[in-house]
Structure 1
Amino acid sequence: EERIFEVGSRLDIERWVRRAINEGAQGGGFILCPTAMPLTTPLSERIKENIIHYIDCGLKYGKLGHVRG
Structure 2
Amino acid sequence: MRVRESDRNLLLLGAFTLLSVAAAGLVALLDPAPAPANPAPRPPANQPSAGGQTPVRIVGTPFVPNANPRQR
TM-score, with normalisation over the residues of structure 1? 0.31
Q: Which has the higher contact order (CA 8 A, sep 6+)?
A: 1
TM-score, with normalisation over the residues of structure 2? 0.30
Decide which structure has the larger Cα Rg and report it. Answer: 2
Choose between structure 1 and 2: higher helix proportion.
1
